[in-house]
């Protein structure tokens, strides 16, 4: 039996739905692909299990919130992105979490270790920010077809976070991303140095941008490295470049991050520039990076003491 024509979607509405889905997927294509598999020099970051509460310092696993971020389309050709997409983008919170454990026995001097770092996307559930599955999310407000597409695209890009060096108290995490610089969207590597203080278990992160040169080498950008306290929260502004749309559809280069996470800027030194741009870190070179960052923090410590 033929269905009444009035309930069938028009070709126009089919086009609009397809266009919205393609835009939803493209919104989070902020990075150059090619790291879907781990390599001999890096490994893909662990995905945090659904159901994990983002802030739970008493948990045995994932007990440190390193960084949480909500993205918002705020700059550039904002009106080129449909409002229903713009409203759904901030629904999902990127969470970078860590497991820290005290390896000392009762009565001994504390000896905290950074056991693992992982990432996931979270939404508020029962009053708590909670990691969810990006492929099979719960049925909550905003989790319609478009919301699911945005979340699924987010989940695919979690595979681009990779660990390029680790010790018992430090890890270095890289992610390829597009940043709005020089009035254009430029490919960068956003590098995260995550560190736990062995005596207290407190975590901190230093973040900086690297640009790959024509010869394949990495060099820091003009942006200063930024020191972030544990639990840093970020409202990530996204820039839209309408010139990167093709036939009304955004390409992977259409969206870029505006800024590094909020924190305290440090000064580049020649030594820090050199060690901060390594392709990977081993047991001997990672402590060298820690020393260089510690030296960059010295003026900040002096300033804090003067204010006391």
Q: Kindly report, residue by residue over 119-164, the tens digit of the pLDDT.
A: 999 999 999 999 999 999 898 877 888 888 888 888 888 888 999 9
pLDDT digits (tens, 9 = 90+) for 258-268: 999 999 999 99
Strand partners, 291: none
Give the model's confidence band at 24: pLDDT under 50 very low, under 70 low, under 90 confident, else very high. Answer: low
35 with 176: CB under 8 angstroms?
yes
Closest Cα to residue 73, out of 262, 263, 258, 261?
258
Nearest Cα residue to 194 out of 224, 221, 228: 228
pLDDT confidence of residue 245? 83
Cβ atoms of 196 and 202 within 8 Å: the answer is yes
Q: Which residues pair with 67 in a beta bridge?
A: 96, 232
For residues 257 and 277, give the distance between their C-alpha atoms in angstroms, rounded to a whole number: 21
- What is the model's pLDDT at position 13? 37
pLDDT value at residue 258: 96
Q: Collapsing DSSP states into helix, strand and coil, what is residue 30?
A: coil
Q: Give the Cα separation of 179 and 189 in Å (integer).
A: 9
Q: Count of H helices and E strands in the chain? A: 5, 17
Read off the tokens for 261.
């996470």
Q: What are the domain boundaries of the chain?
A: 44-307
In this structure, are strands 112-125 and 46-47 parallel, antiparallel, or unpaired? Answer: parallel
Give the pLDDT band (50/70/90) at residue 1. very low
Position 232 pLDDT exceeds 60 = yes
pLDDT of res. 30: 55
**Tokens found for residue 162:** 């990779």
| Residue 154 Ramachandran class (φ > 0 left, ψ -120 to 50 alpha, else beta) | alpha
Burial of 286 (0-12, 13-18, 19+ CB in 10 A): buried
Contact 247, 18 (CB under 8 A): no
Mean pLDDT of the 210-215 span: 94
| Overall average pLDDT of the 229-240 stretch | 95
Neighbours of 90 (CB within 10 A): 14
Residues in the chain: 308
d(C-alpha 123, C-alpha 130), whole Å: 6
Handedness of CA 22, 28, 34, 38 (dihedral sign): negative
Residue 45 pLDDT > 70: yes
**pLDDT (average), residues 190-218:** 95
* Percent with pLDDT over 90 in the chain: 61
8 Å CB contact between 67 and 205: yes
Give residue 84's pLDDT. Answer: 84
What contacts 218, CB < 8 A, 6 or more positions away?
Answer: 189, 210, 211, 212, 277, 278, 279
String of DSSP letters for 255-279: EEE--PPSSEE----HHHHHHHT-S
The mean pLDDT value of the chain amounts to 85
Contact 89, 147 (CB under 8 A): no
Compute the average pLDDT of residues 34-61.
Answer: 77
Q: What is the pLDDT of residue 266?
A: 96
Q: Rounded to whole angstroms, how far apart are CA atoms 75 and 90?
A: 15
Give the Cα separation of 257 and 185 in Å (integer): 9
Q: What is the pLDDT, as a whole number, of residue 26?
A: 54
Token pair for 199: 């005596």
CB of 257 closer than 8 Å to CB of 185: no
pTM of the predicted model as reported, rounded to 2 decimal places: 0.86
């Amino acid at each position: 039996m033929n269905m009444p024509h009035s309930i069938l979607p028009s070709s126009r509405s089919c086009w609009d739905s397809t266009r919205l889905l393609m835009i939803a997927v493209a919104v989070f294509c902020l990075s150059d692909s090619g790291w879907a598999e781990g390599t001999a020099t890096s490994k893909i970051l662990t995905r945090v299990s659904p159901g994990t509460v983002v802030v739970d310092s008493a948990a045995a696993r994932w007990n440190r919130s390193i960084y949480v971020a909500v993205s918002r389309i705020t700059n550039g050709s904002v009106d080129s992105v449909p409002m229903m997409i713009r409203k759904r983008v901030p629904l999902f919170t990127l969470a970078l979490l860590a497991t820290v454990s005290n390896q000392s026995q009762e009565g001994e001097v504390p000896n905290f270790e950074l056991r693992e770092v992982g990432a996931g996307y979270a939404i508020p559930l029962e009053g708590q920010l909670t990691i969810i599955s990006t492929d099979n999310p719960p049925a909550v407000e905003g989790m319609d077809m478009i919301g699911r597409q945005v979340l699924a695209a987010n989940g695919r890009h979690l595979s681009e976070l990779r660990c390029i060096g680790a010790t018992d108290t430090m890890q270095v995490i890289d992610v390829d991303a597009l940043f709005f610089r020089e009035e254009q969207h430029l490919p960068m590597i956003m590098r995260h140095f995550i560190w736990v203080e062995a005596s207290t278990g407190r975590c901190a992160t230093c973040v900086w941008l690297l640009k790959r040169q024509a010869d394949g080498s990495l060099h820091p950008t003009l942006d200063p490295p930024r020191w972030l306290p544990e639990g840093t929260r970020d409202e990530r502004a996204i820039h839209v470049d309408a010139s990167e749309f093709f036939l009304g559809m955004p390409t992977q280069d259409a969206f870029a991050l505006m800024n590094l996470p909020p924190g305290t800027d440090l000064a580049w030194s020649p030594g820090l520039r050199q060690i901060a741009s390594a392709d990977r870190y081993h047991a001997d070179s990672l402590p060298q990076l820690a020393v260089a960052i510690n030296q960059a923090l010295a003026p900040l410590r002096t300033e804090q003491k003067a204010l006391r």
